[in-house]
Amino acid sequence: MDGKVHIMLLPFLGHGHLIPMTDMATLFCEEGGVRVTIVTTPLNVPNVVAQHKDIEILTLKFPCAEAGLPEGCENTDSIPSPAHVLAFFKATTMLQSPFEHLLLQHPHPPHCLIASAFFPWASHSAAKFKIPRLVFHGTGAFALCASECVRLHRPHRNISSDSEPFLIPHLPGDIKLTKMMLPDYEKAEGENDFTRALKEIKESEVTSLGVVVNSFYELEQVYADYYTNVLGRRAWLIGPLSLRKGKRSGKQPSIDEGEILRWLDSKEPNSVVYVCFGSIANFTGSQLGEIAAGLEASGKHFIWVVRRSEKEFERTTDGKGIIIRGWAPQVLILEHQAVGCFVTHCGWNSTLEAVSAGVPMVTWPVSAEQFYNEKLVTEILETGVPVGVKKWGRIVGDDSVTSEAIEKAVKRVMEGEEAEGMRNRAWKLSQMAKTAVEHEGSSHSHLTDLIQYLRASNSIS
């Protein structure tokens, strides 16, 4: 071979994994001495912007029809309804055999496979080919620890109602949650598709070489230490991956970047609210109406991203704001000095992008591990306030948030002394994030340490 470490990446088929793992690929290659193969499906190729000559992209056919999905449903953003979520996951498990065929055919077997946690079978494939496997969860250390403490100690079993707060046992920081906020798959009991999938994911984490985390040590120090020292996992924190310079992966923005920058340039610093709920979450028409009314009542300028599937929503904005239908250039927007508040679903990438840009948040978790991320932002980092969502949902957000709650939360984040405190803390964290990815910063050291480890264990000089 060419003396380079060959890393194969198998990102889950959702933007929340494809974007950071593509950034990761570029980061590895830019460090030098590494080449990367990204394995995805044909319809996801346009979302993967390979920015280095040492990145190769290979594809596997996605078995839509076989799994009962409509043709073309190759990404979580095109799952037609919550009822199709399990079919989507089933289709992803059917990738195992074609993936192993691809490994067999590849002229240069990889020295390491980094696969998303949602592909627990990747550990078996890696073992068959004697390749070490690393896990990418797509979440931060706090959520990894919180979810593991809930899974191990099941505190929600001992409470009398779904809305009664309980303490997450053993997790540093006295964090309270309710059963309603827990993901379905974490509170499920007995043997079913959810508990089996979670068990497999956890087992593959334990048997793997370790985890690669899109976060930085200084942000979640206590939890990164807890994860390694108490839970006993090996972790490399190499983020924030979005701080990598250059063209971003993900979809093509639905708005001209120059136009949005000109609009932002015309606004005062910290005066604009940016509202976006990631690539999967959807809201009912009535909830969208509450958001519109809340933003209007706040009196702030805003940029609001409405998903194309939210068809029923029609609204004009009286010049106060911009509605983007489809895909926003999110990092570009967050980094603009005019943006002073991010209303977010607390997807980990969005959360970390806000941290990196120093933008305080109104937290509006919807699904996955987002309620944990909300706790990190509002109670540990103290750079945001909750809008007051009470219930975890699968894709569709809890639609009980009133326009008054939205207005109040936005004003709390943007006006007065409390807001000033949040802004200062957010600014400090953004500086720490930038330092972490610089030469010899903590994330850069974790990255070089991982590459070095792979070189040494594969006897590559």
Kindly list the residues in this chain that would bind ligand UDP in the complex (CB under 6 A). Answer: 14-16, 19, 250, 276, 278-280, 305, 327-328, 330-331, 347-350, 353
In the chain, helix, strand, coil percent, each to 5? 45, 15, 40
Least separation in angstroms between residue 281's CB and ligand UDP is 6
Instruction: For residue 52, give both structure tokens.
Output: 């280095």
Q: Measured between alpha carbons, how far is 131 from 432 in angstroms, rounded to an integer?
A: 35
**In terms of CB distance, is 125 or 378 closer to ligand UDP?**
378
Asked if 399 and 286 touch (Cβ cutoff 8 Å), the reply is: yes
**Residue from 223, 232, 224, 279 nearest 251 by CA:** 279
**In terms of CB distance, is 5 or 144 closer to ligand UDP?**
144
**In terms of CB distance, is 254 or 286 closer to ligand UDP?**
254
Q: Measured between alpha carbons, how far is 384 from 388 in angstroms, rounded to an integer?
A: 12
In the 8-state DSSP scheme, what is residue 308?
Answer: T
430-453 exposure pattern, b = at least 16 Cβ within 10 A, e = fewer? bebbeebbeeebbbbbbbeebbeb
**In terms of CB distance, is 241 or 414 closer to ligand UDP?**
241
Least separation in angstroms between residue 217's CB and ligand UDP is 20
Asked if 112 and 7 touch (Cβ cutoff 8 Å), the reply is: yes
Least separation in angstroms between residue 92's CB and ligand UDP is 15
Least separation in angstroms between residue 347's CB and ligand UDP is 2
Q: Measured between alpha carbons, how far is 363 from 449 in angstroms, rounded to an integer?
A: 34
**In terms of CB distance, is 12 or 62 closer to ligand UDP?**
12
How does DSSP assign 205-250, residue by residue? Answer: HHHSSEEEESS-TTTSHHHHHIIIIIS---EEE---GGGS-S---S
Asked if 332 and 302 touch (Cβ cutoff 8 Å), the reply is: no
Q: Going by DSSP bridges, is the β-strand pair 361-363/384-386 parallel, antiparallel, or unpaired?
A: parallel
Asked if 350 and 278 touch (Cβ cutoff 8 Å), the reply is: yes
Asked if 109 and 35 touch (Cβ cutoff 8 Å), the reply is: no
Least separation in angstroms between residue 252's CB and ligand UDP is 10
Least separation in angstroms between residue 173's CB and ligand UDP is 22
**In terms of CB distance, is 111 or 394 closer to ligand UDP?**
394
Least separation in angstroms between residue 453's CB and ligand UDP is 27
Least separation in angstroms between residue 190's CB and ligand UDP is 28
**In terms of CB distance, is 112 or 361 closer to ligand UDP?**
361
Q: Measured between alpha carbons, how far is 367 from 364 in angstroms, rounded to an integer?
A: 10
Least separation in angstroms between residue 365's CB and ligand UDP is 10
272: β partners: 301, 339
**In terms of CB distance, is 330 or 430 closer to ligand UDP?**
330
**In terms of CB distance, is 19 or 168 closer to ligand UDP?**
19
Q: Measured between alpha carbons, how far is 399 from 212 in angstroms, rounded to an integer?
A: 34
